[in-house]
């Protein structure tokens, strides 16, 4: 193959990649343009550039306040952001924490009902969230957990556990049993081999599962909108929906809120991806 042909192929490959990146970023540029634009109307333009650039939309979204019965003002958006982060992180920790030993048992041990149990867990993923909204509302109302973070965590964690078990079971099955046997030959117990050998090797899968559980809870809207009616208990998806009314739509505020809401997910992904890379070579044995 001639150098000129190599150069042409390299240029063509880079051009395709650049087109794919531009295609992916173009909608994001529209959101950024709306968020920092001083106008509230959508204007058709090839290159989305903020009209009358301003930070007023960001200030209006982030600086929202609520007044208590004593007349004191409090930072409403900060409380709503805290609601989303607490609920999502707790859901991910509980879901993955319960799923890890469960998935390991399904992957390594033989017991009665093993296959049927996995099928039952998989069947729970076939029902949409809206189908369980009314029963969950009645249960939480009976337990007096409406408009609480605890109620949302219970709902979200109950749906994240089956998905996490299904994901992690495949990861544990892909890890050679020889690694655990080698550790036990050196004197480790089954539990020590699980902690010191299996978990480090499975770290990428655990990190991905944690990220998916967090994002699912962080972006969930239907249950949150059904179970919450106090703006102080709102999560961020419900907050964003309030900018789009029946007779009026504040797309500028919606875009500004969407950018702010996406920042925690971006930061979490940056942290998790380092653990994914670090876990690829961990837990192995020297040969």
* Helices 149-174/133-142 angle, 10° precision: 120
The confidence score (pLDDT) of residue 245 equals 76
Is a pLDDT exceeding 80 seen at residue 169?
yes
Percent of the chain with pLDDT over 90: 34
When pLDDT is cut at 50, 70 and 90, the band that residue 9 belongs to is confident
Q: Which helix (H) or strand (E) holds 138?
A: helix 133-142
The predicted pLDDT at position 142 comes to: 92
pLDDT at 220 over 80: yes
Q: Which domains does the chain have, with CATH numbers?
A: 3-54 (no CATH), 67-281 (1.10.3720.10)
Which candidate, 31, 67, 43, places its Cα nearest to that of 253?
31
pLDDT at 190 over 80: yes
Q: What is the separation, in whole angstroms, between the first and last Cα of the chain? A: 40
- Other Cβ atoms within 10 Å of 227 Cβ, number: 21
pLDDT at 279 over 70: no
Mean pLDDT (whole number) for 174-196: 89
Cβ atoms of 67 and 73 closer than 8 Å: yes
Which residue, chain included where needed, has tokens 């009358």? 52
Write down the pLDDT at residue 2. 67
Model confidence band, residue 88 (pLDDT cutoffs 50, 70, 90): very high
């Amino acid at each position: 193959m001639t150098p000129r042909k190599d150069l042409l192929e390299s240029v063509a490959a880079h051009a395709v990649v650049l087109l794919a990146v531009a295609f992916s970023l173009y909608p994001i540029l529209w959101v950024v343009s709306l968020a920092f634009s001083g106008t509230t109307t959508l204007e058709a333009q090839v290159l989305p550039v903020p009209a009358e650039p301003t930070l007023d939309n960001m200030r209006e979204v982030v600086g929202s306040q609520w007044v208590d019965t004593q007349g004191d003002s409090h930072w409403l958006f900060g409380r709503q952001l805290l609601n989303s982060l607490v609920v999502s992180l707790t859901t991910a920790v509980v879901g993955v924490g319960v799923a890890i030993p469960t998935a390991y048992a399904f992957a390594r041990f033989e017991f009665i009902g093993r296959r049927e149990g996995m099928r039952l867990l998989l069947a729970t993923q076939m029902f949409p969230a809206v189908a369980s909204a009314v029963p969950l509302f009645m249960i939480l109302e009976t337990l007096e957990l409406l408009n609480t973070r605890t109620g949302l965590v219970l709902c979200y964690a109950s749906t994240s556990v089956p998905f996490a078990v299904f994901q992690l079971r495949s990861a544990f099955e892909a890890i050679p049993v020889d690694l655990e046997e080698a550790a036990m030959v050196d004197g480790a117990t089954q539990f020590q081999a699980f902690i010191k050998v299996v978990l480090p090797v499975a770290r990428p899968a655990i990190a991905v599962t944690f990220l998916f559980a967090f994002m699912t809870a962080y972006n969930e809207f239907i249950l949150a909108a059904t179970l919450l009616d106090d703006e102080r208990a709102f999560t961020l998806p419900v907050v964003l929906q309030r900018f789009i009314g029946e007779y009026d739509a504040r797309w500028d505020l919606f875009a500004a809120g969407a950018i702010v809401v996406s920042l925690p997910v971006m930061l979490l992904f940056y942290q998790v991806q380092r653990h994914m890379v670090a876990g690829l070579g961990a837990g192995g044995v020297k040969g």
